[in-house]
Chain A
């Protein structure tokens, strides 16, 4: 119950039956939304309302609802994950909005992220990029080496950790005017490139991941920096510069990769 503070909102939501459907924006009204509810809770209320009216609820991705899984992809009022910095949609609260507001809710838009239904997009392109090189081959024969046996400078470990906090949400792609995936790919390249365990395969990794990224149809980075601003995990453009270095030096130096 929200009572006097409840928000009455107009929602403009992208509705699309399936990947073949053309889709269009639909307008809905929701009333008396508590400012303390999260954005996804507001979507749940909308869906209950739609179900009661005998209409199809809005499909949207979500899972953890605490900012760690990266599923909640929504482009809200012209920004990935809506207003606010360093948060995912599930961490966005209705107190960020005012009574009477109109809120636009759209799926991530990228040729490489086709819409499956309503707000749900297919982000398996990211999985294929990971499969192309986002791993370290380890010996699992039973005599695996203790990771702590290899000394790693604290600064490198910190940077690798920061890069590894990327949750693969795709907000970087959604925000980029070129729908480029470079922030994501560079975070994944960096988290391994910075550590000694990642070095032996570093050249092949960056070559294969970039190749897959290009094949998926993501755009080219033009350094606008929108991704870094919208990334819920604060992944830095420094990673893109590192990936550029890794890629170029492996192209020029390696015998053949």
Chain B
């Protein structure tokens, strides 16, 4: 077995890979949020940024596949680890008090993750596939000003807004454990900076999903 394969099929290597994909997704979430947020501030900026993201070949054909790979990898690895971990305890305890020693979020990453997966499937079918069909199948003329109207239209539907809000609550729960866990997994832990990572993690986990929710609710109420 090559050293690479051996490393990444070990428990620590898998943890490391899981953490790297998580850190990548943390950055993606920020970038996505930044662009979405401009829709609250300026229609023009939002349109031009969306147009850039939607038509730039580097974004479309280099970054987008990397992102999809990152997402799929994080889920697949998550499931593989979950199955392995479940099988590491064949007989369960008759009485187990998990809350005595660990947070609910840390024990339920599978469930928060699954909910996020359902949301992503919904988001894919709801937004990404129609967008791909619009651009690459129907080959509609590129319209740099369509994006804002589309967002406004999307968030007219209260059910969609509710699904968004709930999903981002689950994302917050996932991040409350996941953010600092990713740093621990890559071995980045020190009494000097770990308290700052923990604080930053809490801030990120609450603020980022809250802002996504704010954008959805804002458009629902403002139009």
Within 8 A of B (CB), among A228-257: 229-230, 237-238, 240-245, 247-248, 251-252, 256
Within 8 A of A (CB), among B88-117: 88-98, 100-103, 106-107, 109
* Interface flag for B76 (CB, 8 Å): no
Q: In the bound complex, how far is the Cα of B94 from the Cα of A225, in angstroms? A: 22
Given contacts A177-B98, A220-B85, A224-B102, contact A106 B93 (CB under 8 A): yes
The answer on a CB contact under 8 Å between A220 and B84 is yes
Per-position binary interface string of chain A over residues 170-214, scored 1 when its CB falls under 8 Å from any chain B CB and 0 otherwise: 000001011110100000000000000000000000000011011
Given contacts A214-B10, A214-B11, A251-B13, contact A104 B94 (CB under 8 A): yes
* Interface flag for B187 (CB, 8 Å): yes
The answer on a CB contact under 8 Å between A210 and B101 is no
Report A214 CB to chain B, min CB distance, Å.
Answer: 5
Instruction: Kindly list chain B residues whose C-beta atoms are within 8 Å of the C-beta of A230.
Output: 101
* Interface flag for A79 (CB, 8 Å): yes
The count of chain A contact residues (Cβ–Cβ below 8 Å) is 49
The count of chain B contact residues (Cβ–Cβ below 8 Å) is 41
The answer on a CB contact under 8 Å between B95 and A222 is no
Q: In the bound complex, how far is the Cα of B95 from the Cα of A25, in angstroms? A: 11
The answer on a CB contact under 8 Å between B7 and A251 is yes
Report A80 CB to chain B, min CB distance, Å.
Answer: 9
Chain A interface, >50% SS class: mixed
The answer on a CB contact under 8 Å between A220 and B89 is no
Instruction: Kindly list chain A residues whose C-beta atoms are within 8 Å of the C-beta of B94.
Output: 12, 14, 25, 104, 106
The answer on a CB contact under 8 Å between B11 and A225 is no
The answer on a CB contact under 8 Å between A109 and B93 is yes
Instruction: Kindly list chain B residues whose C-beta atoms are within 8 Å of the C-beta of A78.
Output: 93, 95-98, 100
Given contacts A220-B15, A244-B186, contact A111 B106 (CB under 8 A): no
The answer on a CB contact under 8 Å between A218 and B181 is no
Given contacts A79-B97, A226-B98, contact A221 B11 (CB under 8 A): yes
* Interface flag for B42 (CB, 8 Å): no
* Interface flag for A223 (CB, 8 Å): yes
Q: In the bound complex, how far is the Cα of B84 from the Cα of A217, in angstroms? A: 9
Q: In the bound complex, how far is the Cα of B125 from the Cα of A7, in angstroms? A: 62
Instruction: Kindly list chain B residues whose C-beta atoms are within 8 Å of the C-beta of A211.
Output: 10
* Interface flag for B189 (CB, 8 Å): yes
The answer on a CB contact under 8 Å between A237 and B11 is no
Instruction: Kindly list chain A residues whose C-beta atoms are within 8 Å of the C-beta of B136.
Output: none
The answer on a CB contact under 8 Å between A245 and B106 is no
Q: In the bound complex, how far is the Cα of B85 from the Cα of A217, in angstroms? A: 9
Instruction: Kindly list chain A residues whose C-beta atoms are within 8 Å of the C-beta of B180.
Output: 223
The answer on a CB contact under 8 Å between B85 and A79 is no
The answer on a CB contact under 8 Å between B187 and A248 is yes
Instruction: Kindly list chain A residues whose C-beta atoms are within 8 Å of the C-beta of B12.
Output: 210, 243-244, 247-248
The answer on a CB contact under 8 Å between B81 and A220 is yes
Instruction: Kindly list chain A residues whose C-beta atoms are within 8 Å of the C-beta of B177.
Output: 223-224
State the 8 A-B residue pairs at the shortest beta-carbon distance, nearest first. Answer: A78-B97, A219-B88, A245-B187, A241-B189, A178-B85, A229-B101, A244-B187, A224-B106
Q: Report which B residues bind A (CB closer than 8 A).
A: 3, 6-7, 10-16, 81, 84-85, 87-98, 100-103, 106-107, 109, 177, 180-181, 184-189
